[in-house]
Amino acid sequence: MSCDVCVVGSGPGGAIVADELSRAGQSVLVIEEGPLPERAEALTPKEVVATYYRDMGLLSTHWPAQVGIFCGRAFGGTSVINSGTCFHTPDRVFAWWNEALGIGFDVKAWREVERELDTELSVSPCPIDRMSPSNRLFAEGLEKLGLTGGSPLMRCETGCEGSGRCCFICPKDAKQAVNLNLLKRALEHGMRAIVETEAVKLNHNGRRITRLVCRTDAGGRLVVRAKRFVLAMGALFTPHFLMKNGLARHYPALGRHLSIHPAAKVFAEMPEPVHSWEGVPQAYRYEHPDHRDVHFEGIFLPAPLGAIGIPYLGADLREWMHAYDRLVGFGFFLSDSEHGRLFRAPGLGPVIRYGLSSRDVDNFCFAVKLIAQCYFAIGARRVLLPLLNPRNIFESAEQLEREFNRNHLQARELYAMGFHPLGTCRFSSTVEKGVVDQTGRCHEHDNLYICDGSAIPGPLHVNPQITIMTYSRLVSRGLI
C-alpha cells in the first residue's frame, strides 16, 4: 500500500496525527496491532483485560524493582482502557524542558491546542454526585484533617452514568477514548486503518525510511511505502521497535530516561457497606503544598479485578474480598526521581530496568499515611497499605502513628504499578540527550517521526494523555 503518511499505533498520539493530516487532505494509513474495541456491555472486566490489555496486564519492569506496567492494545490504544482524566501540561515542565533539553515550545500555542482538545473531547469536572463513594469519603477525610485544595478531576466524557468501568471499556461510550472522536473524524476524511496487524520491519536507506513491513494476525504480509512514517506505538514499544530494527546505534538516548509515575492505592474498611464500585472511580484529586511530587487521585476496581490491589493470597485475600462492599480505596502516583531504561532481549520483548529511589520511598510513605489518616478521620475500622510486608494492616490512627515506620521499609517492599510510561525517545535539541527534535523528527532520519508518550520527557507530574495529544498536534501541524 502507498500513502503520504503511515502512522503506526492508534492511541492518543497516533490518533491526533491521523486526524490532523487526513483533514489537511493527506492520504493517511494507520497500522494498529490491537483489535477494534467491542462495545463492552457484553464483556466482563476480566475479558477486557485478556483482550485489550497488552500481555493481559502482565507486563512489568524486571529489576531491581518489579512494577507492573499497563498499556492498551486496541484501535484507540490505551485511551480505550484509561480513566479519562485530563490535565493540561503543568507550567513547571516547560522550564525544565527548556533548561535541560534545549526545547522551548511556544507556550501560548500549546495552551491554544489544549483548549481545542478540551472542546473536542468534552472535558469537564466530574460532578460530586457522580463520584464513587471512595472519592467523596476521601474528600470528607481531607476536610476533617483541615487540608484544603482538593478538587474534582477534569474528565473527557459525554453522558457518563457513573457505571465505574472506565478502565474496562466504557459500556456507554461516554468516556471519550480517541476511537470515538479523532479516529472517527479521520475515517470520515479518508484515513485508512488496518487493525490486528503488527508493524515488524522498517527498511531504510541512509537517512530515509523506504518501507514498512507488517504482519497481519491472519498470517499475511503487508508492505507500506510512504513519504513519511510516524511511530506512535507508545513509550515501551516505539523504542523497542527501533532497537529491533537496528536503529539503536544512531540514538544513544534510545530506551533511556523511562519515567512511569509509580502508583499505588490504600484500602480502608468502613463499618457499613459503601459499594465503592458505583460511580466514577477516578474522580477527585489532591496535592499537598509541601509534597508536590505526590499526586493523589481516586481509583477503585470492580470486584472481579479488585484482588490485584490486595497484597495477599489464600485465606487473607479471601477475608478482604468478603469485605469488598465495605471497602473504600484511594490512590496516588509519584513524580519519579530516578529514570529507568528499556532494553531489547530477542524473543522476550522489552526488558526494563527500573528502581525506586530513597526519595520515592519517602514520598510513597507520606502518601499511604495521608490516605490512611483521611479514612480513619471518617470512621474506617482498619486500613490496608500497599506493602509487601506483614505490617501493612492498621486498626487506628494512633496505631498507624505509633507503628508505621518508614525506616523499616525497603523499596522492594512497595506494591507499586505504573500507568504512565514516558520519555524513552524524548525530544531534545541534540541526539546525545534525546531521539527526536522539537518538530518530532528523529534526529538522524529525514522522514521518521515519533508522536506518542515516548517523545514526552517525564516525569510530567500529571496524567499524560492531553500532553501527548498537544505535542502530537503541534508536530502534525508542522507536517502540513
Ligand X SMILES: Cc1cc2nc3c(=O)[nH]c(=O)nc-3n(C[C@H](O)[C@H](O)[C@H](O)COP(=O)(O)OP(=O)(O)OC[C@H]3O[C@@H](n4cnc5c(N)ncnc54)[C@H](O)[C@@H]3O)c2cc1C
284 or 471: whose CB is closer to ligand SF4? 284
Cβ at position 433, least distance to ligand X in Å? 20
| Interaction pattern, residues 166-185, with ligand SF4; x per rule: CB under 6 A | x---x-x-xx----------
Determine which residue in the list 54, 73, 136, 165 makes contact with ligand SF4, applying CB under 6 A: 165
Cβ at position 235, least distance to ligand X in Å? 6
Contact partner, 85, from ligand SF4, ligand X, none, Cβ < 5-8 Å per class = ligand X
Summarize as ranges the residues that interact with ligand X (CB under 6 A).
8-14, 31-34, 70-74, 77-79, 81-85, 167, 198-199, 232-235, 237, 241, 282, 419-420, 452-453, 463-465, 468
Cβ at position 93, least distance to ligand SF4 in Å? 27
Determine which residue in the list 11, 14, 34, 164 makes contact with ligand SF4, applying CB under 6 A: 164
Cβ at position 234, least distance to ligand X in Å? 3
Contact partner, 237, from ligand X, ligand SF4, none, Cβ < 5-8 Å per class = ligand X
Contact partner, 163, from ligand X, ligand SF4, none, Cβ < 5-8 Å per class = ligand SF4
Cβ at position 140, least distance to ligand SF4 in Å? 21
Cβ at position 84, least distance to ligand SF4 in Å? 6
133 or 298: whose CB is closer to ligand X? 298
Contact partner, 434, from ligand SF4, ligand X, none, Cβ < 5-8 Å per class = none
79 or 454: whose CB is closer to ligand SF4? 79
Cβ at position 309, least distance to ligand SF4 in Å? 18
Note whether 136 binds ligand SF4 by CB under 6 A.
Answer: no
Minimal CB distance to ligand X: which residue?
11
- Residue the block writes with cell 457497606: 273
179 or 335: whose CB is closer to ligand SF4? 179
76 or 423: whose CB is closer to ligand SF4? 76
Give the distance between the most distant pair of CA atoms in the chain: 68
Cβ at position 109, least distance to ligand X in Å? 20
| Interaction pattern, residues 257-296, with ligand SF4; x per rule: CB under 6 A | -----------------------x----------------
Q: Write the secondary structure of the chain as one string of H (helix), E (strand) and C (coil).
A: CEEEEEEECCCHHHHHHHHHHHHCCCCEEEECCCCCCCCHHHCCHHHHHHHHEHHHHCCECCEECCCEECCECCCCHHHHHCCCECCCCCHHHHHHHHHHHCCCCCHHHHHHHHHHHHHHCCEEECCHHHECHHHHHHHHHHHHCCCCCCEECEEEECCCCCCCCHHHCCCCCCECCHHHCHHHHHHHCCCEEECCEEEEEEEEECCEEEEEEEEECCCCEEEEEEEEEEECCHHHHHHHHHHHCCCHHHCCCCCCCEECCCEEEEEEECCCCCCCCCCECCCEEECCCCCCCEEEEECCCCHHHHHHHCCCCHHHHHHHHHCHHHEEEEEEEECCCCCEEEEEECCCEEEEEECCCHHHHHHHHHHHHHHHHHHHHCCCCEEECCECCCCCEECCHHHHHHHCCHHHCCHHHECCEECCCECCCCECCCCCCCCECCCCEECCCCCEEECCHHHCCCCCCCCCHHHHHHHHHHHHHCCC
Residues that bind ligand SF4 (CB under 6 A): 84, 157, 160-166, 170, 172, 174-175, 280
